[in-house]
Chains A and B, each alone.
Chain A
Amino acid sequence: GNSVTQMEGPVTLSEEAFLTINCTYTATGYPSLFWYVQYPGEGLQLLLKATKADDKGSNKGFEATYRKETTSFHLEKGSVQVSDSAVYFCALSDNAGNMLTFGGGTRLMVKP
């Protein structure tokens, strides 16, 4: 079956540092890939997505590139802010687009 593996957290960074959160996946066919963010006490929000190989999703300064050759979708941001502190989830959809499979989540803590 499909699976998503994320680096374990927490990841602690100082403000303006560079962020990478690794995500690799196992899936058959050509899934779509997503990053979701969960702020404390809230539900998940879609951060960005990519639907085919080599696509780059981007939003709010975050980027991730769909790499089929390495089955990866790493999340990056050039300069993090305290307000980016949250839990980040990598996810993929099955080929039919009916189901989402999530990784375990990575908590990011940004210190002033």
Chain B
Amino acid sequence: EAQVTQNPRYLITVTGKKLTVTCSQNMNHEYMSWYRQDPGLGLRQIYYSMNVEVTDKGDVPEGYKVSRKEKRNFPLILESPSPNQTSLYFCASSLRRVGTSGSNEQFFGPGTRLTVL
């Protein structure tokens, strides 16, 4: 089954304790992205990657890191989490960049609800 998986689905942690949220897709997609969803703000893009070893900042990259060593994986790293990073996080992937014509539909993972105390 074609899908985007995220782990963990729920996480409660404390300020300053490094954490990683994993994201994996099995569709051989080139483009992957991380978003955070907050009430009233919709989804905001954190980082995106157009291919292996190619990553770039989105609208709200502060406090986050990513890596793209393999095509299928795109982990999100919080080196020193703070309470303002409490949010619902989504990973997404698409065959090509989102604004291109043709098959550019983004497939979203189920989300990771993170609480930083």
Q: Which residues of A contact B (CB under 8 A)?
A: 4, 6, 31-32, 41-46, 49, 51, 89, 91, 93-105
Q: Return the CB mask of B29-50 against A: 1 if under 8 Å, else 0.
A: 0000101000011111100101
Please state if B42 and A102 are interface contacts (CB–CB under 8 Å).
Answer: yes
Q: Which residues of B contact A (CB under 8 A)?
A: 4, 33, 35, 40-45, 48, 50, 56, 58-59, 90, 92, 96-101, 104-106, 108-111
Question: Closest Cβ of chain B: how far from A49's Cβ, in Å?
Answer: 8
Instruction: Report A-chain residues with C-beta under 8 Å of the C-beta of B4.
Output: 43
Query: Given A32-B98, A43-B109, are A99 and B42 neighbors across the interface (CB < 8 Å)?
Result: no
Question: Closest Cβ of chain B: how far from A39's Cβ, in Å?
Answer: 11
Instruction: Report A-chain residues with C-beta under 8 Å of the C-beta of B44.
Output: 102
Instruction: Report A-chain residues with C-beta under 8 Å of the C-beta of B109.
Output: 43
Partner of A104, one of B41, B56, B59, B110: B41
Residue of A whose beta carbon sits closest to that of B42: A102
Residue of A whose beta carbon sits closest to that of B57: A99
CA of A74 to CA of B106 in the docked complex: distance in angstroms? 21
Query: Given A103-B42, A105-B42, are A97 and B97 neighbors across the interface (CB < 8 Å)?
Result: yes
Question: Closest Cβ of chain A: how far from B32's Cβ, in Å?
Answer: 12
Residue of B whose beta carbon sits closest to that of A42: B110
Please state if B43 and A97 are interface contacts (CB–CB under 8 Å).
Answer: no
Interface hub of A44, A89, A95 (most chain B Cβ within 10 A): A44
Please state if B99 and A43 are interface contacts (CB–CB under 8 Å).
Answer: no
